[in-house]
Structure 1
Amino acid sequence: MIQWRRGVVDEVRSSWAGAIEYAVRLPSGDRVRALGYVDAVGALAPGTAVLLNTTALERGLGTGGLALVVAAPDALPEPVPDVAAVPGHLVKARYTPSQTMVLGVDEQDSAHHAVLADADDLGGLPVVVADLHSALPAIVAGVREVDPGLRVAYVMTDGGALPLDFSRTVAGLRDAGWLAASVTVGQAYGGDLEAVNVHTGLLAARHVVGADLVVVSQGPGNLGTGTRWGFSGTSAGEAVNAAATLRGRPVCSLRVSGADPRERHRGVSHHSLTAYGRVALVRADVPVPLLRGDLAGLGADVLAQATELCAASEGRLTLREVGCEGLDAALRATPVPLRTMGRGYDDDRAGFLGAAVAGRFAARMLGAGG
């Protein structure tokens, strides 16, 4: 079901990339936070009447807990004069009322079609795979601590938010020059490049973007049901498989926490154990943070869990112990806030260090030349 509400834009609260957050007043007099995508509804002025989807907001969800502007019926964007002449025919968010058509990097109308038509090899490209979108800036911080000159591309899968413009993180990293490009795959859309699936997204990152290293994760908003298999992060294991199939070098970023109130996510999350231990079926490296000082007890638990994960894989997963020295400063220097599940860096340092060592390890792979 969808909870529909009418409202009127009171003010613009903030904006980033292709998204604008408004304060919208409902007929009841209440004001709500509402997000509008410029490509979908344009930039709206105060006083504009809008139609809202308030389902997630009224359910009190976290990442998705905003009203969404569906339409501004009296202020529609100008129609495209000849939509048939617009290049591209990839439809994303397919068969929903908000489906959109984009130009795929690998389709016939693309200038890059010839490059990708027979592309089949990543040539040893390191591919860091993470469960949560919040790991992205920490991974890139780890990469840049080794070599800030590396070209990093981000491939966003469709397990979370579908519009990339929802992500303040990607917008901030792009503005700071920390990401060379973004690629949205599957039903996700809005990246610098659009691709049909993870495989063509990775190939585009390598052969079109010229990336030295790629990070893959779902968009903001992780779905989980508290069951062994019911979570959107299983796509991390599938991305590991895709990277290896294309002769890349997959690196598994562990989801680690010392502060999550849920036991199943303490130490190494059961999401990582399932995605990398059961869904991934290929050889991959598993960097493990060597946590010291006040995190030493947690570090011992994480190392034990990771050791068991790799041992049970019968040689597929290789444990790589990675020191955390210098990463604290690198993480505190990120151009975007570090937050995961509502917790900041100082609330759960282990989680961000676990992601950063994956970036550090992948960047060192390039430095080692092998």
Structure 2
Amino acid sequence: MINWRDGVVVSLGREWHGALETTVRTPDGSELRALAYPALVGRPAEGDRVLLNTTALDRSLGTGGYALVTALPDALPQAPPQGPGHLVKARYTPLQTMVLGVDEQESEHHETLREADSLDGMPVVVADLHSALPAIVAGVRAQAPDARIAYVMTDGGALPAWFSRTVAQMRDEDLIASCLTVGQAFGGDLEAVTVHSGLLAAKHVVGADVAVVAQGPGNLGTGTRWGFSGVVAGEVVNAVATLGGAPVASLRVSASDARSRHVGVSHHSTTAYGRVALAAADVVVPEFDETIEVPATLGGPSGLNALVDEQVTPLAARHRLVRRAAGAPLLETLRRSPVRMSSMGRNLDADPTPFLAVAAAGEHAATLLRR
């Protein structure tokens, strides 16, 4: 189940919060890009021997092109001093880690969260893909520049938040106030046991005006109706509604995905919101204008809009469909973002529709703050 290799670190590369790129030379002379999480394995240096997990890399899967450093056997890190916190995440894996949960008894925020039970109407934007995060935040800030935004990262993709350069940059740019990792995910500014307690912490500890919930990088899908990690988006809608928040469902839309199930509105969105979400949400439906380039096979923007309308119509039986312009002004907003946008290997220029669709949801969430 695991492909193991060993090698020697020959150089260090980019570093961002919680992660360090290295180049590792293996005994056969090949060189691999390898990613280390110093908090888990220690900080590698040139000349260190490392053990690598190359399972996903060997299969050319979406790990960002990295082997993963699992240990520095000749330079094991010192055991950290005993501190508060007893939440174990990535439980019963070889790299399980113990963290201080924002909601646990040893936390300074325990009393705040012990009886917390309401989001007090806080808008929460729900997304399928991690790549939606910067566009949603840009949409929120276009309408509410001073809004305090929290990102709640679920455990459907990467477990360490450290893997995400997007989150690191957004924290550096003060675009989000906090990253909260929930479930088995870890490495956020705050750790929580569940989506529910993570959302409550976003409201009552971070003081967020708006929250965004999405999985970490590395969406998992099988091409089947139910076998995709984004199905949890429907469960998040239920959690937000249960806690008295205002769920805003963003749609996964593409004009250029080669897979028919993801053209227009992805089946991930229609399944999660149409079958899994039992509570009503504001489903934000983007309306593209003539400035947005759409393949002729879809009939241009008007043809894409007609397709999207057809695909979302069944959702109106349970949800409120909110139509918002997703054209040139919003695209200009996205172009001003300091964070690079890329989804499924396509950037903002190659296919702006995924980013416009979720940014429109961010704009709508911001309008709810004025009510």
Matched residue of 1:13: which SS? strand
Matched residue of 1:47: which SS? coil
- When residues 182 and 56 of structure 1 are mapped into structure 2, their CA distance, relative to the original with a 3 A threshold, is same
Match of 2:349 among 336, 346, 350: 346
Map of 1:89 onto structure 2: 86
AA partner of residue 249 (structure 2): C
Map of 2:338 onto structure 1: 335
Between the two proteins, the alignment pairs up a number of residues equal to: 361
Normalising by structure 1, we get a TM-score of: 0.96
Distance, in Å, in 2 between the alignment partners of 1:180 and 1:282 is 28
1:309 aligns with 2:306: no
Cα deviations by residue, 1:145-164 (Å, 9 ceiling, x for unpaired)? 11110000000000000000
Cα distance, 1:303 vs structure 2: 2.2
Distance, in Å, in 1 between the alignment partners of 2:282 and 2:63 is 30
Matched residue of 2:91: which SS? coil
Map of 2:21 onto structure 1: 21
Distance, in Å, in 1 between the alignment partners of 2:236 and 2:345 is 26
1:70 aligns with 2:70: yes
The answer as to whether partners of 1:56 and 1:64 remain within 8 angstroms in 2 is no
AA partner of residue 334 (structure 2): L
Map of 1:162 onto structure 2: 159
Match of 1:356 among 330, 351, 359: 359
- When residues 16 and 147 of structure 1 are mapped into structure 2, their CA distance, relative to the original with a 3 A threshold, is same
Match of 1:318 among 306, 320, 324: 320
When the two chains are superposed, the root-mean-square deviation of aligned CA atoms in Å is 1.0
Normalising by structure 2, we get a TM-score of: 0.96
Distance, in Å, in 2 between the alignment partners of 1:63 and 1:169 is 15
Q: How does 1:235-254 map to 2 (within 5 A)?
A: 235-254=232-251
Distance, in Å, in 2 between the alignment partners of 1:186 and 1:130 is 17
Distance, in Å, in 2 between the alignment partners of 1:63 and 1:357 is 29
Cα deviations by residue, 1:192-245 (Å, 9 ceiling, x for unpaired)? 100000000000000000000000000000010000000000111111100000
Map of 2:7 onto structure 1: 7
Cα distance, 1:300 vs structure 2: 2.2
Map of 1:133 onto structure 2: 130
1:264 aligns with 2:261: yes
1:112 aligns with 2:109: yes
Map of 1:57 onto structure 2: 57
The answer as to whether partners of 2:56 and 2:63 remain within 8 angstroms in 1 is no
Distance, in Å, in 1 between the alignment partners of 2:135 and 2:314 is 23
Match of 1:180 among 167, 173, 177: 177
Map of 1:228 onto structure 2: 225
- When residues 242 and 211 of structure 1 are mapped into structure 2, their CA distance, relative to the original with a 3 A threshold, is same
Distance, in Å, in 2 between the alignment partners of 1:265 and 1:9 is 40
Distance, in Å, in 2 between the alignment partners of 1:191 and 1:236 is 20
The answer as to whether partners of 2:270 and 2:315 remain within 8 angstroms in 1 is no
Cα distance, 1:336 vs structure 2: 1.6
AA partner of residue 335 (structure 2): R
Moved more, 297-306 or 340-349: 297-306
Cα distance, 1:327 vs structure 2: 1.0
Moved more, 54-63 or 152-161: 54-63
Distance, in Å, in 1 between the alignment partners of 2:354 and 2:198 is 27
* Uncovered stretches (5+) of structure 2, i.e. residues with no partner: 295-300
Matched residue of 1:346: which SS? coil
Distance, in Å, in 1 between the alignment partners of 2:307 and 2:277 is 23
The answer as to whether partners of 2:273 and 2:315 remain within 8 angstroms in 1 is no
Map of 1:33 onto structure 2: 33
Moved more, 62-71 or 87-96: 62-71
AA partner of residue 22 (structure 1): T
Matched residue of 1:238: which SS? helix
Cα distance, 1:64 vs structure 2: 4.8
Matched residue of 1:7: which SS? strand
Query: What stretches of structure 1 move > 6 A for 4+ residues in a row?
Result: none
Cα distance, 1:46 vs structure 2: 0.9
Cα distance, 1:76 vs structure 2: 1.2
Cα deviations by residue, 1:103-130 (Å, 9 ceiling, x for unpaired)? 0000000000000000000000000000
Map of 2:297 onto structure 1: none
Distance, in Å, in 2 between the alignment partners of 1:34 and 1:222 is 20
Identical pairs, percent: 63
Cα distance, 1:302 vs structure 2: 1.3
Cα distance, 1:54 vs structure 2: 0.4
Matched residue of 2:74: which SS? coil
Distance, in Å, in 2 between the alignment partners of 1:234 and 1:114 is 33
Distance, in Å, in 2 between the alignment partners of 1:3 and 1:94 is 21
